[in-house]
């Protein structure tokens, strides 16, 4: 039956055109934005996961910056310790030279005094971002960020690696620190004294002007002991620096992996979307033609009345 009031063919064609237009709009949005899941209504589960992981990735970026800051602190301390070892080795060489009876000990002491002042200068200069790991109060500590973790219960935490200062002769700082933060040259690896025939000497306060050959031999042992401790401390700092470098590399790789994982969840497949776009544009044109044909069918009724 043909009716001029109800055009079933036109309504069907219109519904088809609406559906095609909706699909075409979605495809165009994916092509223009690059996202398959751009908002929660596209896929609530994937959108939620992607949003959480992007937040964690942003935190990882901050951790990476903190690791860089920590690496700079450790590298500064290591550089100071390494250079101090070279200076103390020179003091040791001077002591070896002073064992020769014909050598003027006062002249040698003048050279040693200059090297001792250099050690103090190195220690005071080994500061980065307001922290100096070569001068510290006994028991105080410094820390560097090491990682960012998300626990199974959904909570997050930032882990740190601590470095506790020890101002003893077998400690890990060149000199101690007073309560006001100033340098204490009477403690630390270079400041802690040892008795040499009734007189207390440290590497920093060593004075061989009136020493006998036997005293100088004891002083050499004092210096060698300090060298051994400084070498051990430099090794610890080097190990910490290596760990930070490994963690920095891991954080960078983890960040890239998270980006890749999020992309697999929400990124649009451009090859697929391009094919869909071409197909939907063709379907749209055909649907428009079908609707035109359906609308024109009512005019055919006029032929019945001619």
Integer Cα distance of 262 and 266 in angstroms: 6
Residue 170 confidence (pLDDT): 93
Q: What is the pLDDT of residue 144?
A: 84
Question: How many Å apart are CA 25 and CA 229, to the nearest integer?
Answer: 71
- How many Å is the maximal CA-CA distance in the chain? 141
| Consecutive H or E run containing 275 | helix 270-296
Q: Could you tell me the sign of the dihedral formed by the alpha carbons of 255, 257, 258, 260, in that order? A: positive
Tell me what pLDDT residue 306 has: 62
Each residue of 119-128: b (16+ CB within 10 Å) or e?
A: bbebbbebbb
pLDDT in tens, 60-82: 888 888 888 989 999 999 999 99
Residue 70: partners with Cβ closer than 8 Å, 6 or more residues away: 144, 145, 146, 161, 244
pLDDT above 80: residue 299: no
Q: Is 77 left (phi over 0), alpha (psi -120 to 50) or beta?
A: alpha
Reported as a pLDDT band with limits 50, 70 and 90, residue 301 is low
Distance in angstroms (rounded) separating the CA atoms of residues 255 and 242: 20
Encode pLDDT of 148-193 as tens digits.
777 777 777 878 888 899 999 999 999 999 988 899 999 999 999 9
Q: What digits encode the pLDDT tens for the residues 122-141?
A: 999 999 988 999 999 999 99
Q: What is the band of 110 on the pLDDT scale with cuts at 50, 70, 90?
A: very high
pTM of the full structure: 0.76
3-state secondary structure of 229: helix
Which tokens hold the place of 32? 């223009």
Q: What percent of the chain has pLDDT over 70?
A: 93
Kindly report, residue by residue over 205-238, the tens digit of the pLDDT: 999 999 998 999 999 999 999 999 999 999 999 9
Mean local confidence (pLDDT), 10-23: 80
Cβ neighbours around 30 below 10 Å, total: 22
The Cα 26–Cα 280 span in angstroms is: 11
In this structure, the strands spanning 199-201 and 194-196 are antiparallel
pLDDT, the chain, mean: 87
């Amino acid at each position: 039956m043909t009716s001029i009031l109800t055009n079933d063919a036109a309504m069907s064609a219109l519904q088809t055109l609406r559906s095609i237009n909706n699909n075409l709009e979605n495809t165009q949005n994916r092509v223009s934005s690059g996202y398959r899941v751009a908002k929660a209504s596209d896929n609530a589960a994937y959108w939620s996961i992607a949003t959480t992981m992007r937040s964690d990735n942003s935190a990882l970026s901050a951790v990476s910056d903190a690791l860089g800051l920590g690496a700079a602190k450790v590298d500064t301390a290591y550089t100071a310790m390494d250079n101090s070892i070279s200076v103390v080795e020179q003091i040791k060489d001077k002591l070896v030279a002073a064992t020769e009876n014909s050598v003027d000990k006062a002249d040698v002491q003048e050279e040693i005094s200059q090297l001792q002042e250099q050690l103090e200068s190195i220690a005071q200069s080994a500061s980065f971002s307001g922290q100096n790991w070569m001068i510290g109060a006994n028991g105080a500590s410094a820390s560097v960020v090491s990682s960012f973790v998300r626990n199974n219960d959904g909570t997050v935490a930032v882990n740190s690696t601590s470095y506790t200062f020890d101002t003893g002769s077998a400690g890990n700082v060149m000199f101690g620190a007073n309560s006001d933060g100033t340098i204490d040259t009477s403690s630390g690896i270079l400041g802690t004294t040892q008795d040499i025939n009734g007189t207390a000497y440290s590497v920093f306060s060593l004075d061989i002007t009136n020493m006998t050959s036997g005293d100088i031999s004891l002083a050499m042992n004092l210096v060698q002991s300090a060298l051994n401790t400084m070498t051990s401390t430099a090794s610890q700092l080097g190990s910490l620096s290596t760990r930070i470098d490994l963690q920095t590399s891991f954080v960078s790789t983890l960040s890239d992996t998270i980006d890749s994982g999020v992309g697999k969840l929400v990124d649009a497949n451009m090859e697929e979307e391009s094919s869909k776009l071409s197909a939907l544009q063709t379907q749209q044109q055909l649907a428009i033609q079908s609707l035109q044909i359906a609308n024109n069918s009512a005019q055919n009724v006029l032929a019945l009345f001619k």
